[in-house]
Amino acid sequence: MHIDDDTKEIIVSFVTEGFERLDDAEARLGELGAGDNEAVFSSVFGLFHSVKGSAGFLNFENVKSLTHDAEALLEVFLKEKVEAGPESIDTLLETVDLLRAMIEEISREYHDRRFAEPVQRQTAKIRDLVSALRGSPGKISKPPVITPNEIITCDMAERFLTETMELLDQAESLVLEMESRSWNPEKINSVFRAVHTVKGNAGFFGCADLEDLCMDLENLLHQARSGNTPRGDAFITQVLGRLDGIRSRAAETRVGGGGGPGNKAVPYRPLGKILVDMGAVDEAEVEKALEQQEKPLGELLVEAGAAQPDDVSRALEFQKTMASGAGADAEAVRRKNVRVDTAKLDRLFDLVGELITAEAMIINSPDLAGLKLDAFRKSYAALNKITRELQETAMMIRMIPLEGIFSKMNRLVRDLSRKSGKGVDFLVSGADTEMDKNIIEQISDPLVHIIRNAIDHGLESAAERTAAGKSEKGRLRLEARYEGSEIWISLEDDGRGLDRNRILAKASAQGLLQGDGADLEDPEVWRFIFRPGFSTAETVSDISGRGVGMDVVSKNLEKIRGRVDIKSEPGRGSQFILKIPLTMAIIEAITVRVGDNLYSIPQGDIVEFFRVAPDQIVLTGKDEEVVNLRGNLIPLVRLFEVFGLKPKARNVEEGILIVTASDGRKACLMVDEVVGSHQIVIKSLSEYLGEVTGLSGCTIMGDGSVSFIIDTAGLMSLRLE
């Protein structure tokens, strides 16, 4: 079947929006039982309804059929007030999973025909469940209730309003161009895409009236694209009139106060809808008036004899109580937000980095050496201040909240809880903490593996917990907070804690340990669990036990210069703390020289500098050098030996020692000299170098030379292990 480029573009939009709505639906279903279930079901209903509407327009019959039956199930909870049990929630989550697979297929094949049988099985299951629920006791007979969509925050609603107004302005401009110049099919397609986007967003926000208006205009535009509508002034007038109607409805949308999660964007009820609900006018009369609307709707209905002036006045008064301040709010948010492609933000961030490098090259230019340039230095100081502020602003633009990734963990915990048979109370805080979007992509897998281990290894069974005097349900707490220039993401459980003896025994069996390990501190013992293939599980389950999970945690954190700290107490539980830099592109570092090469060490990894006396060097039984620093024995790492260089200082007392710390371990790095402190822009090493352990990248210095950036954790693993 041939599909034209315009239809493909619409399908791509459907796929993108579909994935987003299914992610939102899954996250909302994970909130059931934690608050207002009715609001959750109302939100999920709106998401399914939006997917169904778009699927129906594109003739994806299987998607349409499945979402329709899913809506019927949700209506049992919303309208008939039947309580949703685990089977119902599981069915809804299975439906989300199946829809996601179908949309994935559509993204590749542009149809959903292959899913006819799976959809038939799932819809049959849903219908059987609906029948069973309708026959269940305890059903409360109440009239349908319009519940505000509580998934919508003020910030989300503001962005929705801003984008809607921008898209409508864009569409209107294109329509006016067609009127003043010539008919252009591509302009019609662009108007269609703009309206389609507004419709999709309106469905997500539960603005059914706005969604219906967009659907009506879509149908008109589709007829024009197919050549079934006259291309004259009448058509232009119809399109502009309907755009005005959509704009009017969008402007009537109020944004709730505050700004935190849970605040609502409550769509206003249009005048026509209020009059119909009052029984003052027929819906057909309202539709007829809207089609030829050149005056306010109330006036048209009165003139046509379809409504009484008193009824219209009462409806307007009711609408006014809902609408106060909405226009001003909508206008304010139009000025407040601008949508920018993420690729442009990344480019901006790269340019800021280049600006910092160029600035350093100017101030360190050899042409300026020895010159007395007071005015220049003063101007440079002002430029440097502006550059720093520009850098901070660019960093802030790339920051997004952790709310999305935290919401996905709700589903994971629920699935693992049911699979393992262990009850889990999952508590989340700090979801509004913001982090560089590129770093967020790297922490999803580590969080998944830590949660898997916490539920499978950490939390005890209900019987074990009861015997230990604990509640039957385990507690899992996920928290994020700022700590200086880092973000700490903590996952804490109240389970059995890490088993030190078991870990040491496994490490010894795998040849990772000499002796019994009694002299090792707890943090050193805990590090064994991050070794590839290391697991204390006696049997492999479909949750964990293969010895790959915690290795993924370690590797992903190394990529973003993060680290993990572990605290554990037998019988009380464990805490894993991911310590992650706010950004991984620009850092403060100390630059040193070893031979003819420059190296930069992140300031956060440096404890102190000192020159060593010969009597401070101690040889271990393995002839390894350690430094006795105030009674603490710290391994010595000669950087010239690690990187195969010819140093200026071969004897340790001739060089400078830098005490570095990472992952609870310390090392003394021997260098020839300390060049200075710099703000550096991290550049990736060329791919042809392959994997270089001990280095995380490089940077361009002010004089144009290259400095390699030390990966402290990787260097310690390379040299000390």
Q: Mind listing the pLDDT tens digit for each residue in 429-447?
A: 998 888 888 788 788 888 9
The answer to whether 357 and 283 have CB atoms below 8 angstroms apart is no
The pLDDT assigned to 81 comes to: 78
Query: Over pLDDT 70: what percentage of the chain?
Result: 80
How buried is residue 552: exposed, middle or buried, by Cβ count under 10 Å (0-12/13-18/19+)?
middle
The pLDDT assigned to 152 comes to: 55
The pLDDT assigned to 325 comes to: 43
Question: And the tokens for 551?
Answer: 């290795």
The pLDDT assigned to 247 comes to: 81
CATH architecture for the domain at 400-581: 2-Layer Sandwich (3.30)
Taking the CA atoms of 581, 585, 586 and 589 in sequence, report the sign of the dihedral they define: positive
Question: And the tokens for 140?
Answer: 């409360």
Listed by start position, the domains of the chain span 5-134, 154-334, 342-398, 400-581, 586-720
Q: Mind listing the pLDDT tens digit for each residue in 63-81?
A: 998 998 898 888 888 877 7
Q: How far is CA 406 from CA 47, 441, 658, 666, in A?
A: 20, 12, 38, 33
CA 283 to chain centre: 43
Which residue has 């390990």 as its token pair? 517
The pLDDT assigned to 471 comes to: 93
* 215-219, 326-330, 407-411, 579-583: range with highest mean pLDDT: 215-219
Question: And the tokens for 666?
Answer: 């310390």
Confidence of residue 542 (pLDDT cuts 50, 70, 90): very low
Contacts of 621 (CB under 8 A, 6+ apart): none
Mean of pLDDT values over 32-61: 82
Helix (H, G, I), strand (E, B) or coil at 593: strand
The pLDDT assigned to 568 comes to: 92
Mean of pLDDT values over 604-608: 88
What's the CA gap between 651 and 648, in Å, rounded? 9
How many CA atoms within 13 Å lie on the side-chain side of 176? 8
Confidence of residue 510 (pLDDT cuts 50, 70, 90): confident
What's the CA gap between 102 and 21, in Å, rounded? 14
The pLDDT assigned to 329 comes to: 43
CA 454 to chain centre: 22
What's the CATH number for 154-334?
Answer: 1.20.120.160
Taking the CA atoms of 628, 630, 635 and 639 in sequence, report the sign of the dihedral they define: negative
- What letter would DSSP give residue 623? S
HEC string for 199-245: HHHHHHCCCHHHHHHHHHHHHHHHHHHCCCCCCCHHHHHHHHHHHHH
How many CA atoms within 13 Å lie on the side-chain side of 381? 6
The answer to whether 535 and 545 have CB atoms below 8 angstroms apart is yes
The pLDDT assigned to 135 comes to: 62
Q: How do beta strands 632-638 and 665-671 pair?
A: parallel
Contacts of 66 (CB under 8 A, 6+ apart): 95, 98, 99, 102, 119, 122, 123
Helix (H) or strand (E) holding 362: helix 342-363
Distance separating the N- and C-terminal Cα atoms of the chain:
60
Question: And the tokens for 472?
Answer: 């039957």
CA neighbor of 599 nearest in space, from 554, 650, 656: 656
Fold of 586-720: OB fold (Dihydrolipoamide Acetyltransferase, E2P) (2.40.50)
Q: Mind listing the pLDDT tens digit for each residue in 460-494?
A: 999 999 999 999 999 999 999 887 667 899 999 99
Mean of pLDDT values over 519-544: 72
User: What DSSP line would sit under 257-282, residue for residue?
Assistant: SS-STT--EEPPPPHHHHHHHHTSS-
Question: And the tokens for 640?
Answer: 């010239």
What's the CATH number for 342-398?
Answer: 1.10.287
The answer to whether 251 and 330 have CB atoms below 8 angstroms apart is yes
The answer to whether 49 and 71 have CB atoms below 8 angstroms apart is yes
pTM greater than 0.85 (yes/no): no
Mean of pLDDT values over 184-210: 80
Mean of pLDDT values over 34-38: 71
Report whether pLDDT(698) > 90: no
Which residue has 């919401």 as its token pair? 407
What's the CA gap between 696 and 709, in Å, rounded? 6
- What letter would DSSP give residue 605? G
The pLDDT assigned to 600 comes to: 92
Report whether pLDDT(503) > 60: yes
Return mean pLDDT, the chain. Answer: 79
The answer to whether 611 and 649 have CB atoms below 8 angstroms apart is no
Mean of pLDDT values over 323-337: 44
Q: Mind listing the pLDDT tens digit for each residue in 226-272?
A: 776 666 667 777 787 788 778 877 777 766 544 333 333 444 456 67
* 372-376, 396-400, 676-680: range with highest mean pLDDT: 372-376
Report whether pLDDT(540) > 70: no
Q: Mind listing the pLDDT tens digit for each residue in 283-301?
A: 777 777 766 655 666 777 7
| Alpha helices per DSSP H over 82-229 | 86-109, 116-134, 154-180, 185-204, 208-225
* 3-state percent breakdown (helix, strand, coil) of the chain, nearest 5: 55, 15, 30
What's the CA gap between 374 and 380, in Å, rounded? 10
Which residue has 């029984």 as its token pair? 279
Question: And the tokens for 2?
Answer: 């041939």
- Which amino acid, 369? A
Pick the CATH number of 5-134 from 3.20.20.10, 3.50.50.60, 1.20.120.160, 3.30.930.10: 1.20.120.160
Name the CA dihedral angle for 447, 449, 454, 458, rounded to a multiple of 10 degrees. -150
Helix (H, G, I), strand (E, B) or coil at 326: helix
Report whether pLDDT(414) > 90: no
Mean of pLDDT values over 369-381: 88
The answer to whether 627 and 674 have CB atoms below 8 angstroms apart is no
Task: For Cα atoms 271, 274, 279, give the angle at the middle one, nearest 5 degrees.
Answer: 130
Higher pLDDT, 383 or 30: 383
The pLDDT assigned to 150 comes to: 66
> For the chain, how many residues are written?
721
Q: How do beta strands 632-638 and 625-629 pair?
A: antiparallel
Same fold, 5-134 and 154-334: yes
- Which amino acid, 228? N
Q: Under the phi-then-psi rule, with left for phi > 0, alpha for psi from -120 to 50, and beta for the rest, what region is 59?
A: left
Mean of pLDDT values over 498-527: 84
Q: Mind listing the pLDDT tens digit for each residue in 555-600?
A: 788 777 788 889 999 999 999 999 887 665 677 889 999 999 999 9
Report whether pLDDT(155) > 50: yes
Report whether pLDDT(407) > 70: yes
What's the CA gap between 596 and 673, in Å, rounded? 11
The answer to whether 141 and 76 have CB atoms below 8 angstroms apart is no
What's the CA gap between 14 and 18, in Å, rounded? 6
